[in-house]
Amino acid sequence: MKRSKKLCMLVLIGMMVCTISSISSQTISPSSTQSANDISRHFSISLIPDSIQRLIKGKSYKADCTIPMNDLRYIRCLHITAEGQTKEGEMIVNKKIARQVKEILYQLYINRYPIESIQLIDHWNADDEQSMRANNSSAFNFRYISHTKKVSKHGHGMAVDINPLYNPYHKRLKNGKEVVEPATARPYLNRKKAFKYKIEADDLCCRLFKKYGFSWGGNWKTMKDYQHFEANF
């Protein structure tokens, strides 16, 4: 009998771990999110679960990461795609902005603002280019600013990228060369065109991030980063 109980406990624990590690791939039936309480229970903030720590170590949480794990938070959320599908998502951010980001994601969801994917960048081995090509929205990924010893905003978990394929980074270098990230996003550099997942200065996404103390890379002068919102506190 004792062995049977222990076996049941092990099965339950395994199911819980599996749920945490695969949450981002699940599609939710609209009928399960009709009430405010049903919606709210899908939005949460926690310390980084052990299973997620194992996933991110050596990827977004690199060996030389200077950010303590306890300074990071794991957000669970819902998001809706342009096709109207409700999906579960996950994001890691700095604890300083966790409450604000959770509220922004909640407001975007209940107002049906489309976001195609919100998964940890570790599912792409922390490769920014591949994650952006998949139009995946993400936040924490430890790295230094190029040619410096200064940790980037994403390295601190203090920046969020939304729908990056359709809202690329764009900079023209002094030698005339253009940098577009992701490289497949060139068709979306023309911001006068209408297309799905496009972020605009007066849309709900921009207004919410601004309300909670973030600045938008689409307003930068020497370059544009239309996907990028970073905390100014």
Structure confidence at residue 19 (pLDDT): 45
Q: Residue 54 and residue 76: Cα distance in Å, rounded?
A: 17
Query: Among 118, 127, 13, 32, which Cα is nearest to 75's?
Result: 118
Contact (CB, 8 A) for 187 and 86: no
Structure confidence at residue 172 (pLDDT): 92
Helix (H, G, I), strand (E, B) or coil at 103: helix
Contact (CB, 8 A) for 170 and 190: no
* Distant-in-sequence, close-in-space partners of 97: CB < 8 Å, separation ≥ 6: 157, 158, 231
Contact (CB, 8 A) for 152 and 144: yes
Q: Residue 233 and residue 72: Cα distance in Å, rounded?
A: 16
Q: What confidence tens digit (pLDDT) does each residue in 46-65 have?
A: 999 999 999 999 999 999 99
Q: Which parts of the chain have pLDDT scores under 50?
A: 1-20, 22, 24, 32-33
Reported pTM: 0.87
List the domain boundaries for the chain: 23-231
Q: Residue 229 and residue 189: Cα distance in Å, rounded?
A: 18
Q: Residue 12 and residue 70: Cα distance in Å, rounded?
A: 27
Q: What confidence tens digit (pLDDT) does each residue in 154-163 have?
A: 999 999 999 9
To 10 degrees, the CA torsion angle through 27, 163, 47, 232? -150
Q: Are strands 117-118 and 136-137 parallel, antiparallel or unpaired?
A: parallel
